Amino acid sequence: MTKIYHNPRCRKSRETLQLLEEKGENIEIVLYLETSPSKEELSHIIELLGIAPIDLVRKGESIWKEQFKGKEMTPTQVINAMVKHPKLIERPIVIKNGRAALGRPPENVITIL
């Protein structure tokens, strides 16, 4: 099963989902803006991606600019901010067989299929 953390309003997310469908993947779609990942789930995703929590933040979002930009934050505080405000989570994220990839560009996910 291939899991995608998806935002249907995002072009890159739609393109990544389409790519997965074209590859014949059995897909579980997580609408993460409606069902925010838990702190544990998001921590695990970040670990699978092999990045720092701050690298998964959409720093152009107004929530980030207004509430967090320029502040010293621990990795845990960054994760907590993303859990509280899932709009801050970069997307799409695809997970398969214990591996994860960020679909920016969508072709990035091919490496884990």
Instruction: Quickly list DSSP for 54-94.
Output: GGGB-TTSHHHHHHTTT----HHHHHHHHHH-GGGB-S-EE
Each residue's pLDDT tens digit, 41-97:
999 999 999 999 999 999 999 999 999 999 999 999 999 999 999 999 999 999 999
Q: What is the pLDDT of residue 63?
A: 97
Instruction: Report whether 96 contacts 112 (CB < 8 A).
Output: yes
User: What phi, psi does 29 have (nearest 5°)?
Assistant: -100, 125
Mark whether 50 and 79 lie in a shared domain.
yes
- Give catalytic residue positions: 10
Number of neighbours of residue 5 by Cβ within 10 angstroms: 28
pTM of the model: 0.95
Does residue 61 sit in the same domain as residue 79?
yes
Asked if 80 and 45 sit in the same domain, the reply is yes
Count of domains observed in the chain: 2
Range of the domain at 16: 1-32+91-113
Whether residue 81 is found in the same domain as residue 99: no
